[in-house]
């Protein structure tokens, strides 16, 4: 169960990797969903409130500056939703269960587009819940059941 939480905290897998992993290991889908969503939600305030200081520190060294530029340019491309739709775009950016989207990307996008953490947090959390439901349903085969594949 700790691996489910760890995967949901990680920037690459988030709950998109944690939920299928937990279900594949035979854990209860409701427990896996709860742990994965909670793990993904825990990281949001840390990211939103910690990015500014971390960015300042990282960008001081050459490799950190390279990483920051790569992350920011990638997020700007994905953040077009945010420019077009505002907070709803942030929900969509986080909720669509594709690689490179999720709470981490949403938090970076909120920082880049000047959203205050207090404003961005509930929208990112809503996106995490929607993504969790979509990934859970897909993991349980509901998508196949309705013939949507």
Predicted confidence (pLDDT) at residue 148 exceeds the cutoff of 60: no
Given this model, what pLDDT does residue 81 score? 66
Domains of the chain: which residue ranges? 45-145
Given this model, what pLDDT does residue 98 score? 83
Token representation of residue 5: 């939480």
Given this model, what pLDDT does residue 78 score? 66
- Specify the range with the lowest mean pLDDT, choosing from 2-11, 79-88, 108-117: 79-88
**Mean of all residue pLDDT scores within the chain:** 87
- CA dihedral (72, 54, 46, 111) positive or negative: negative
Measured between alpha carbons, how far apart are the two ends of the chain, in Å? 29
Given this model, what pLDDT does residue 15 score? 93
Q: Which pLDDT tens digit goes with each residue over 50-74?
A: 887 777 787 788 888 888 888 778 7
Percent with pLDDT over 90 in the chain: 51
Model pTM score: 0.82
Token representation of residue 76: 């700007």
């Amino acid at each position: 169960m700790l691996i489910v939480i760890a995967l949901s905290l990680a920037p690459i897998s988030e709950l998109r990797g944690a939920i299928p992993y937990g279900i594949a290991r035979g854990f209860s889908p409701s427990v896996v969903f709860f742990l994965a969503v909670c793990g993904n939600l825990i990281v949001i305030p840390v990211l939103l409130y910690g990015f500014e200081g971390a960015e300042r520190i990282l960008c001081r060294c050459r490799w950190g500056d390279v990483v920051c530029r790569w992350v920011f340019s990638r997020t700007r491309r994905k953040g077009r939703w945010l420019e077009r739709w505002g907070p709803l775009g942030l929900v969509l950016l986080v909720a669509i269960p594709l690689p490179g989207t999720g709470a981490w990307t949403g938090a970076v996008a909120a920082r880049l587009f000047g959203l205050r953490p207090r404003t961005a947090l509930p929208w990112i959390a809503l996106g995490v819940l929607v993504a969790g439901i979509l990934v859970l349903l897909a993991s349980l085969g509901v998508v196949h059941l309705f013939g949507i594949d």
